[in-house]
Amino acid sequence: MTVNYNLDVSSTSLIGFIKLQLRWRGSIWKSVVMELILFTSLFSLVTIIYRTNYFLSEKQRRFWDDFTALFDQKLDYIPLTFMLGFFVTIVVGRWSDIFQNIGWVDTTALFIATYVRGTDEKSRILRRNILRYMVLTQVLIFRDISMQVRRRFPTLETVVAAGIMQDAEKDKYNDTALKYNKYFVPIQWCYSLLYEARTQGKISADVMLNEIMKQIGDYRKGLGQLVNYDWVPIPLVYPQVVFLAVRIYFLLAIIGRQSVLIDGEPPKDPNPIFPLVPFLMTALQFIFYVGWMKVAENLMNPFGGLFSPLGPSTWSFHSP
Amino acid sequence: MTVNYNLDVSSTSLIGFIKLQLRWRGSIWKSVVMELILFTSLFSLVTIIYRTNYFLSEKQRRFWDDFTALFDQKLDYIPLTFMLGFFVTIVVGRWSDIFQNIGWVDTTALFIATYVRGTDEKSRILRRNILRYMVLTQVLIFRDISMQVRRRFPTLETVVAAGIMQDAEKDKYNDTALKYNKYFVPIQWCYSLLYEARTQGKISADVMLNEIMKQIGDYRKGLGQLVNYDWVPIPLVYPQVVFLAVRIYFLLAIIGRQSVLIDGEPPKDPNPIFPLVPFLMTALQFIFYVGWMKVAENLMNPFGGLFSPLGPSTWSFHSP
Amino acid sequence: MTVNYNLDVSSTSLIGFIKLQLRWRGSIWKSVVMELILFTSLFSLVTIIYRTNYFLSEKQRRFWDDFTALFDQKLDYIPLTFMLGFFVTIVVGRWSDIFQNIGWVDTTALFIATYVRGTDEKSRILRRNILRYMVLTQVLIFRDISMQVRRRFPTLETVVAAGIMQDAEKDKYNDTALKYNKYFVPIQWCYSLLYEARTQGKISADVMLNEIMKQIGDYRKGLGQLVNYDWVPIPLVYPQVVFLAVRIYFLLAIIGRQSVLIDGEPPKDPNPIFPLVPFLMTALQFIFYVGWMKVAENLMNPFGGLFSPLGPSTWSFHSP
Amino acid sequence: MTVNYNLDVSSTSLIGFIKLQLRWRGSIWKSVVMELILFTSLFSLVTIIYRTNYFLSEKQRRFWDDFTALFDQKLDYIPLTFMLGFFVTIVVGRWSDIFQNIGWVDTTALFIATYVRGTDEKSRILRRNILRYMVLTQVLIFRDISMQVRRRFPTLETVVAAGIMQDAEKDKYNDTALKYNKYFVPIQWCYSLLYEARTQGKISADVMLNEIMKQIGDYRKGLGQLVNYDWVPIPLVYPQVVFLAVRIYFLLAIIGRQSVLIDGEPPKDPNPIFPLVPFLMTALQFIFYVGWMKVAENLMNPFGGLFSPLGPSTWSFHSP
Amino acid sequence: MTVNYNLDVSSTSLIGFIKLQLRWRGSIWKSVVMELILFTSLFSLVTIIYRTNYFLSEKQRRFWDDFTALFDQKLDYIPLTFMLGFFVTIVVGRWSDIFQNIGWVDTTALFIATYVRGTDEKSRILRRNILRYMVLTQVLIFRDISMQVRRRFPTLETVVAAGIMQDAEKDKYNDTALKYNKYFVPIQWCYSLLYEARTQGKISADVMLNEIMKQIGDYRKGLGQLVNYDWVPIPLVYPQVVFLAVRIYFLLAIIGRQSVLIDGEPPKDPNPIFPLVPFLMTALQFIFYVGWMKVAENLMNPFGGLFSPLGPSTWSFHSP
């Protein structure tokens, strides 16, 4: 759910800032609003119980004063800032690695268009098939790691319908009896076509054949890396510990932040406005921390719609 | 808006420091001054209302004492330092990746000058065209990701006028019916020219042809990476949360930093100088934090004038 | 012990969060539960001694008040957060390097299937043997660095039984008189087979032979890297210092966190609920810090079951 | 100004520590001493005015007590530690990138010595010239980015005098009408010589020629990277903000650190030794922070004498 | 002095933790024990003077109360945690870079065994010599950067005695009149042998020769990197500032940590146990910080025994 906002930040003025904040799709506001409402409701409920005369006796309220103050003070035990800072950095690094490995057919397409010669129909189809198989590999993999692509291609039939696979190929693919990495069967088809092209003299030198083979190999490696990233995520304990810490912190803040002590002393004149200050600040803190956490949640699962593999595929159909 | 200041810091003395600070273009002062004036004005306004006798009664002022103290204390809830520190580090890393991928034609130009032989006019034009197409690709991409280059080349006609594209090529380019990555059509032209040169014996070996092809491929990959970086920015939530935190912090500081408590106690003799201390310190804090934030804002949008692609292009026209 | 949880975090809502927390295998709960029970028991024991009237005189209890308060205050001397933050970052970086080097035969297998020609039985066996030797190298190495693989293949006989090695090969391997890096003997066999294939014309060009050789070389280098990582771990002092700090901290917290001072003052009405607050918060702190530490402990020893080398091996038997 | 101290730290004992501290060249002491004296003088001046009876009345001194205490407390607003920590990490990373790109002719020299055959005088000169041109490129670039090399070679004549360039070459170089990247003209000469050597059969295969070409290309790319690093520094705002923060902090510390409150209370018996404690600690803080800052200042400008390009050059003259 | 402890941490239980802590070689305990004893002695000495009645009058002791409290409070000025955290991260990064560059002959050896054909004695010696020269280069370099290897090979004679160099080679090496990088003379010998092998047809194709040349080139580059790392260490200021900060901190802690104030107040009943608490905590702090610092000290000087180059060398003698 990455939304492009470059133009908005291109002027570094206050107006750019306001524009940036007013965006809704993929924004902090959208990702935080529901939980913020929940937090505010619970906080208000506790405030009402605590500050009005309907629920607690004077003595109970005095106990509650100390209780919340104690809680407020101990909230610091939870090392939110560091956990989030380090965790987000790791997740961003991983996300950017994944982004490098998505697999682009462009360079290879250009090489194939140059090295695989022949202007007859058969040569054209040959070139097209090689690229189609590369795109097909990508689609097969993204179907398993991205919900959005899965929804677009729920079955192999839909892939055939989109013209990325042919019926005969689908059967051949289904007949392949591999338990792992079946994804890469189309790459093998690519390679066969290329070797054939070399034998027929459509590729005029071994060094050219080898160059294309290597590039497709790198493409495959990138996709394989995606599969691995999907297969071995960041150890479960890490996100659990971080996300739990954030939520527990604000759950306890509902009690702790009722306290209005100033340097350990209550303000001299009680005033109904005072409790609003810690509430306001805690709500802001909520927005910032939960927003920060959302960065991590978003990036940990980058294939929830980030990339549409159809881009390159469409391209490759028109190119050679 | 990167300004070169290396010479100023080359002596690590106090004088070097002062020289560094006195620079204006691209400096902290320039980027902070407007917002600092705004902040100072608002802060002064609140101070005048609070500290003079015209607006508040004595009782109101006592309430205000507690109110600002409470605010001051709760300001710490906003984890500015960490957010900025981690965020700037990520942005700087990304910026330096982008910088690596700008695309330099130099090495390739030298290879072409060596490998593509022939002293006749046709060979010279051939060599020149290959490089021109490389530069053209760069221009086409930068037109879409850099405001400044867009301003220099608002239409393809202006690119033609600058001699980077020919009229016939413009038409051919416009006729290409690609939805994505149309940028790389000139690379295809490069490749055709190179293959032709090999067939005509102007390049004497397949291994040489392949080397140039590979280098142009790497060049294209770098430019493709730029397009990707432009297309998938850092998730919106992250800069939103960080920039919002900084601005909210200083908005609330306008209230909170009116307080002059020393270890929870007001100074014994009230003195009009005391309120100046928290103001001065908060203004400094403003300069440092907002300046730090400006580093991130600047680097998130590196193509607001950073690089002039004409440098390499001009070069390549004269070289072979 | 990496457990896949991607699907659970794919919706970034509260429900996704709860689902994530409810997982048990490889979770924070599982890794923390035993030590948490121990911590709670000891803490309760000290509380009972301290707060009830059976063990301590009034005077002793007053002494104890000051004693725990002093301890509580000095607990901050232990820089847990930073040590853990920096250490976990380093360990995660190392783990992800190791993960890159596990060694995948896929690309090479595809190249061999394309470049090593011949449809007769001998050619098929040749292709299969080359891949088998690659897998064998992996198995030999993983037997020495991963407990789990060692358990699966306690002796070379079991490797033979699994069909990854032949009896004659086992003898040949045992006869090789190398003290170091004996692992890579099967790679030498690979290379001999490949050269033979080139001499017999099954590989039709030197450039093809060289490409396969290079890829197997990279594969070997990755595995060699694993051996090195196993051989030279992060210097012992670093994990010792970090893990010790965490444990000592919570050992001392058993005493220090008995204190219920609020801003240096005891609460006005003693209430048995008060001591529960620091206990609850310390228990949470225990969960977060020890959970964070477990991330490091887990990743420092990634071969305690992370990867099953049989995956690729099985694959390679069916492929060419 | 990098000074080698490896031997001193090779024993990790106290003696090694003391030896390390006693070094002067490039040390913390040398880089800090002048500013420390300035700081101490100013601090003492303020102390004398404040603590003696000659300048301030009793009432003024009481005001001053509160004033310094307030200042002391607000000093924390300046986030020195984080700014420096993150900034130094970025600068160190950049410095180590630059270090990787300095350009070493060694490997290439060895390849040329092997691949370019011929024992006659002409062949020897050919080999020597190729390497000389590589070194020449380095010298031309370092003249523009390193003060020290510029001082060694103020004009092209001095380069000629050092035997790195010939008179005819100087004229040819001056006649080249390039605005950018003129540095790489000698690389073009290298390439011409190499191609000639191939035509004359001194290099016996295209693959060998190509290998040398590629290595020289990598060498050029490294040097080009240096030019880029010099051309696009870290955005001015970042060092400005960090260096300013450090200096402002200690300027204000001159006032703020006059305060001797202990937990908000003055010590019971005034004693002239008390003010020495905050001074001593602030001076130490000064040493550590300013020293840390010096790390950044030094590394931001690595060519103020770090590398002597004559090392490799001298080497290459003797080698083939 | 890296000690292998992987097996001990393979179970993530308390027992694994205890086992890890009980190790002595290369442990925190060994590296900290001497300085800890020194610290404890000095601290006890000051305590005895301060707390007993023999040395100080009552008034002096009251002064001392304030004095230590002031010191204790100001200790926070020294930013130990951050300096160490950032510094250790940089040092660990550098160490792991160095580790990547140690130079492994394995892959090259396998290529040579495959590509350099011939079963006669001369061919065997040829293969062996090439590898021997590679190992020799490593030994020559490690003699200059690692104390331990220098001790093993104090003179070139001892290298000859170990069979890594021959007498004639030693003379030839000594006669080479290079000032810099003389280390790489044996690599030149390698290359000559290889070219000879190609001329004699022992290597059957240029592409094979070039591959081996390239691999040896990479090997040389790695070793060259080691020389560079040794030549240009982290700027002296950085370790000086960090190590000094740690030591000064604990020197001052000897005075500052005598204070037993609880939230600014002395405990009501003086009790000889109270001073033990800050001592214990400071001793723990000492162990953690100094231990952390030892990580940096150890890794800054990785060749104090880390790697025995004989491993690969022995291997290479038996292999081809």
Q: What is the 3-state secondary structure (H, E, C) of chain C?
A: CCCCCHHHHCCCCHHHHHHHHHCCCCCHHHHHHHHHHHHHHHHHHHHHHHHCCCCCCHHHHHHHHHHHHHHHHHHHHCCHHHHHHHHHHHHHHHHHHHHHCCCCCHHHHHHHHHHCCCCCHHHHHHHHHHHHHHHHHHHHHHHHHCHHHHHHCCCHHHHHHCCCCCHHHHHHHHHCCCCCCHHHHHHHHHHHHHHHHHHCCCCCCHHHHHHHHHHHHHHHHHHHHHHHHHHCCCCCHHHHHHHHHHHHHHHHHHHHCCCCCECCECCCCCCCCCCHHHHHHHHHHHHHHHHHHHHHHHHHCCCCCCCCCHHHHHHHHHCC
pLDDT at site E320: 31
Mean pLDDT confidence for C103-109: 85
**Closest approach of C209 to chain A, Cα-based (Å):** 10
Nearest Cβ partner of B20 from D66, D195, D239? D239
Residue with token string 């620091």: C278
For residues B227 and A102, is the Cβ–Cβ distance under 8 A?
Answer: no
Give the whole-angstrom CA distance, residue B142 versus residue B150.
7
Q: What value does the mean pLDDT of chain A take?
A: 82
Asked if A257 contacts A279 with a C-beta cutoff of 8 angstroms, the reply is yes
Per mean pLDDT, which range of A284-298, B224-238, C100-114 is the poorest? B224-238
Contact (Cβ atoms closer than 8 angstroms) between residue D183 and residue D169: no
List the structure tokens of C197.
């294939």
pLDDT over 60 (residue C226):
yes
Nearest to A3 by CA among C12, B224, B237: B237
Average pLDDT over residues E21-44: 84
Q: Are C292 and C84 in contact (CB under 8 A)?
A: yes
Note the pLDDT of residue E126.
94
Residue D200 at interface with chain B, using a CB cutoff of 8 Å: no
Sorting pLDDT into bands at 50, 70 and 90, what band is E191?
very high
The CA distance from A224 to A185, in Å, is 13
pLDDT digits (tens, 9 = 90+) for A100-150: 787 788 889 999 999 999 889 999 999 999 999 999 999 998 888 887 788
* E295 → chain D, closest CA residue: D12
Can you read off the two tokens belonging to residue E81?
A: 């945690």
pLDDT for residue D8: 55
Integer CA distances (angstroms), A116 to A119, B177, B196, B277, C27, in order:
10, 22, 13, 75, 53
Look at residue B22 in the predicted model and tell me its pLDDT: 76
Question: Nearest C-alpha of chain A: how many angstroms from C175?
Answer: 34
Q: Is the pLDDT of residue E11 over 80?
A: no
The answer to whether the Cβ–Cβ distance between A263 and C262 falls below 8 Å is no
Q: Which residues of C touch A186 (CB under 8 A)?
A: none
Q: Tell me the residues of chain D between 259 and 288 that have a Cβ less than 8 Å away from chain E.
A: 260, 262-265, 267-269, 271, 273-274, 277-278, 281-282, 284-285, 287-288
Cβ-Cβ contacts under 8 Å for A218 (sequence gap 6 or more): none
Query: Residue B269: what are its φ and ψ, rounded to 5°?
Result: -95, 115
The rounded distance, in Å, linking the Cα atoms of C91 and C233 is 10
Query: In DSSP terms, which residues pair with B262 in a beta bridge?
Result: B265
The minimal CB distance from B224 to the residues A82, A106, A260 is found for: A106
Rounded to the nearest 5°, which phi and psi values hold at E262?
-115, 115
Tens of pLDDT, residue by residue over C23-56, are 777 777 888 888 899 999 999 999 888 888 888 8
Q: Is E103 left (phi over 0), alpha (psi -120 to 50) or beta?
A: left
For A272-281, B215-224, C87-96, E11-20, which range has the lowest pLDDT when averaged over its residues?
E11-20
D56: region left, alpha or beta (phi > 0 left; psi from -120 to 50 alpha):
beta
Q: Do C2 and A63 touch (CB under 8 A)?
A: no
Query: Does residue E10 register a pLDDT over 70?
Result: no
Within 10 Å of residue B214's Cβ, how many Cβ atoms?
A: 18
pLDDT of residue C179: 64
User: CA separation (Å) from D33 to A175, B301, D80, D287, D291?
Assistant: 78, 40, 20, 9, 10
D236 interface with E at CB cutoff 8 Å: no
Q: For a pLDDT cut of 90, what percent of chain B falls above it?
A: 33
Tokens (6 digits) for E30: 């060994």
Of C31, C30, C6, C32, nearest in space to C19 by CA? C6
Mean pLDDT of E146-171: 89
Mean pLDDT over A61-75 rounds to 84
Cα–Cα dist E100/C100, whole Å: 14
Distance CA C262, CA C58 (A): 21
Q: Is C36 on the interface with E (CB under 8 A)?
A: no
Mean pLDDT, to the nearest integer, of B165-169? 92
Give the residue among C96, C82, C7, B302 at the shortest CA–CA distance from A91: C96
Contact D228 B99 (CB under 8 A): yes
Mean pLDDT value across residues B278-295: 89
Contact flag C237-E113 (C-beta cutoff 8 Å): no
* pLDDT over threshold 50, residue C317: no
Residue D208 contacts E, CB cutoff 8 Å: yes
Per DSSP, the three-state class of D291 is helix
In tens, the pLDDT along D222-262 reads 888 888 888 777 778 888 888 889 999 999 999 888 887 77
Asked if D118 contacts D193 with a C-beta cutoff of 8 angstroms, the reply is: no
Q: Which range is most confident: A301-305, B159-163, E267-271?
A: B159-163
DSSP code for B272: T
The C-alpha angle with vertex C293 and arms to C291 and C294, in degrees rounded to 5, equals 65
Q: What is the pLDDT of residue B231?
A: 78
Nearest CA in chain E to C63: E269
Judging contacts by C-beta atoms under 8 Å, the chain D residues touching residue E78 are 281, 284-285, 288
pTM over 0.95: no
Across the range E51-79, mean pLDDT stands at 84
Question: C316 and C255 in contact (C-beta within 8 Å)?
Answer: no
With CB atoms and an 8 Å threshold, state whether B298 touches D237. Answer: yes
Cross-chain Cβ contact B4/D231 below 8 Å: yes
What is the band of B12 on the pLDDT scale with cuts at 50, 70, 90?
Answer: low
pLDDT tens digits, one per residue of E83-101: 888 888 888 888 888 887 7
Residues A257, A263, A268, CA angle at the centre, nearest 5°? 90
Confidence of residue B125 (pLDDT cuts 50, 70, 90): very high
Nearest by CB to residue A298, choosing from B188, B220, B237, is B237
As a whole number of angstroms, the distance between CA C134 and CA E169 comes to 38
By percentage, how much of chain D surpasses pLDDT 90?
33
Q: A21-35, A180-194, B140-154, C149-163: lowest mean pLDDT where?
A: A21-35
As a whole number of angstroms, the distance between CA A106 and CA A131 comes to 10
Task: For chain D, positions 95-134, list CB contacts with chain B under 8 A.
Answer: none
- D116 has a pLDDT exceeding 70: yes
Contacts of B129-132 spanning 24+ positions with Cβ under 8 A: B129/B189, B129/B193, B130/B190, B130/B193, B130/B194, B131/B105, B131/B316, B131/B317, B131/B319, B131/B320, B132/B164, B132/B316, B132/B317
Q: Is the pLDDT of residue D66 over 80?
A: yes
- Of the candidates D162, D215, D160, the one whose C-alpha atom is nearest the C-alpha of residue D190 is D215
The model's confidence at residue A19, banded by pLDDT at 50, 70 and 90, is confident
- Inter-residue long-range contacts of A265-274, CB under 8 Å, 24+ positions, other chains counted: A265/B264, A266/A65, A267/B66, A267/B70, A268/B62, A268/B66, A269/B59, A269/B62, A269/B63, A269/B66, A271/B63, A271/B66, A271/B67, A272/A51, A273/B67, A274/B66, A274/B67, A274/B70
Q: E5 falls in which pLDDT band (50, 70, 90)? A: low
pLDDT at position C66 is 83
Which residue did the predictor score with more confidence, D23 or A210? Answer: A210
- Provide the pLDDT for residue D203: 95
Contact, C170 vs C141, CB < 8 A? no
**According to the model, what pLDDT value does residue A12 have?**
52
CA distances from B308 to B152, B305, B311 (A): 10, 7, 6
When pLDDT is cut at 50, 70 and 90, the band that residue E157 belongs to is: very high
pLDDT of residue A59: 83
| Kind plus residue range of the DSSP H or E element containing A196 | helix A185-199
CB contact E175 to D (< 8 Å): no
User: The tokens 């523009």 sit on which residue?
Assistant: D144
- pLDDT mean over B52-59: 82
In whole numbers, what is the pLDDT of chain B averaged over residues? 82
* pLDDT bucket at C180, cuts 50 / 70 / 90: low
CA D237 to chain centre: 19
- pLDDT for A145-167, tens place per residue? 887 788 889 999 999 999 999 99
Scanning every residue of chain E, which has its alpha carbon at the shortest distance from the alpha carbon of C192? E114
B182 Cα to chain D: minimum distance (Å): 28
Task: Mean pLDDT check: name the lowest of A247-256, E100-109, E277-286.
Answer: E100-109
Alpha helix locations (H) across chain E?
6-9, 14-22, 28-51, 58-74, 80-100, 106-115, 121-145, 147-152, 156-161, 167-175, 185-199, 206-231, 237-256, 276-300, 310-318
Nearest alpha-carbon partner for D83 in E172, B291, B137, B165: B291
Residue A71, class by beta-carbon neighbours within 10 Å (0-12 exposed, 13-18 middle, 19+ buried)? Answer: buried
Q: Which two tokens stand for residue A82?
A: 């560091």
CA D84 from centroid of its chain's CA atoms = 16
Predicted local distance difference test score (pLDDT) of residue C316: 37
pLDDT score at C315: 36
Among the partner residues B6, B31, B262, nearest to D69 by beta-carbon distance: B262
Confidence check: pLDDT of A179 > 50: yes
Q: Is the pLDDT of residue B310 over 50?
A: no
pLDDT tens-digit series, residues D273-286: 888 888 998 999 99
The token pair that represents B104 in the structure block: 């330099």
Tokens 């390239």 belong to E214
Token look-up 């010939």 returns D166
In the predicted model, what is the mean pLDDT of chain E? Answer: 82
For residue A309, pLDDT beyond 50: no
The pLDDT confidence band at residue B303, using thresholds 50, 70 and 90, is low
pLDDT at C114 over 90: yes
Length of chain D: 320
Does the pLDDT of residue D314 top 60, yes or no?
Answer: no
Backbone angles phi, psi at D262, to 5 degrees: -115, 115
* Nearest chain A alpha carbon to B90: A89
- Residue type for D223, please? L
Nearest-Cα distance to chain D for E313, in Å, is 22
Q: Is B176 exposed, middle or buried (0-12, 13-18, 19+ CB in 10 A)?
A: exposed
**The pLDDT value given to residue A51:** 83
Quick: pLDDT tens for A233-276. 777 888 888 888 999 999 999 988 888 777 677 777 777 788 88
